[in-house]
Structure 1
Amino acid sequence: MVVRTIARLTLATLFGHRRGLLLYVLPAVLIGLSLLLTFTVDDKGDLAKAIMQQFGLAVILPLVALIAATGAISSEIDDGSIVYLLSKPINRSTIILTKALVALGVIFGLGVVPIVVSGLVLDPGDVQTALAFGVGALAAGIAYTAIFVALSVMSGNAVTIGLFYSLLWESLMGQYVDGAKVLSIQQWSLALTRQLADVPVDAAVKLPLATLLLLAVTLAGLGLAISRLRSLTLSSAE
């Protein structure tokens, strides 16, 4: 009952603000671009893979994850409404994990699924690769959720910091700077995609290390978020 209430309030918070509109705009842009390219480009070649990786996985997914994960809790901390949850006998881990799961559900529906759809629109004959990118995107979405939820609890500037991280590190350096690729969630998820895809996919990290890093970042992020929320007093939340 408590989990259901927290989930319902989190969804209301996510979609009750104007920035929640971006959760619809971003996947719409991805799918719209894919449809446009389908009708305007004759030689598609590796176009589907390029769009899913360089635009879907590198740009759309981290931005959707940022909006969903920070919106799940930072708004309540900023306006002080988190005090109502903190005043109840509810485990802090229950609060964080419930909000993280709600955010992940939104990321799956508005971040992962559109990537798969864009791949199928551009190359209907290669379902395996589209699904492989979907699996990789889901793995990345889990890690992003943990990072951005932790950032939301630890900093009042979570959205700004997360935006710089998403656009500069994941979207730019994570694609083009060799040294930075090893520390990019995008590259870790591509290692998983490469294992499942029907076409060659480049990844800067091997699958065993990528899996270990994804798991470590997820656990560390959620652990930090829970620890920080436990130390957040009612007065500091108001």
Structure 2
Amino acid sequence: MMMKNILKPVAVMTLSTFVLSGCASSAETTDATAMEQEATYSETERMAGSTTDEEGQILDVLVVEEKAMVPVGTIAVTALALENPFPIDDMFDDIDDTEQYTVMELARKTPNLSTFVKLIEQAGLENDLERLDKMTFFAPTNEAFAKIPEDKLAKLLLTDNSAVLSAMIQAHILPSEVGSGQLQSNTRIRMTDQSYLLVSTDNSGTITSVGNAQLIKTDVEASNGRIHVLDSVIMPSAVVDL
């Protein structure tokens, strides 16, 4: 498998390679098997390309784990927008050609994603994301963040929990372009080397969920990837345990 350097991080980082692979269940996380491996590098790199096995298509994605971070100040829950100013169906409809903008630029253009954008900036990930060749955002709406209990959200925003906030944001970003058609019930996203975020679709194939989050607007194409809008926030175990 070919490796491609995609980031020159401002802090010392390692990466964990996450895998989208065939899975018979879609209701809960599962343990990793001995056949799955974690790759660690002195600089942030992506395992590029794809392959297949008896379980079906495998897509490699990653999450960047920061070993050292520039401290950021605590922000208050009251500083976040927790309502959607516009109907979900109308998001991005006022943009004639979404592909002339990057994923981050598109996310900034809809007030419904203002909290997600703010937390990306708070986590200090914006500059690193700009260096990605391709990416996919699972973007929770403002109201998705309102579903998080206020005390837990307040803890997540503390300076001491910067690494946890970063991990949560990274769980919503794939450093490759993945269309909604690739997100079927026989796929899963490895969150760590011991757990998976499972993808499920309904019988009609019109409703797709990633973990506890439903895709409510899909395949908004940008110049460097695409956005899938979520109705809930993906919660890695580090956030759940706060």
- TM-score, with normalisation over the residues of structure 1? 0.31
- Higher helix proportion: 1
- TM-score, with normalisation over the residues of structure 2? 0.31
Return the index of the structure with the highest Cα Rg. 1
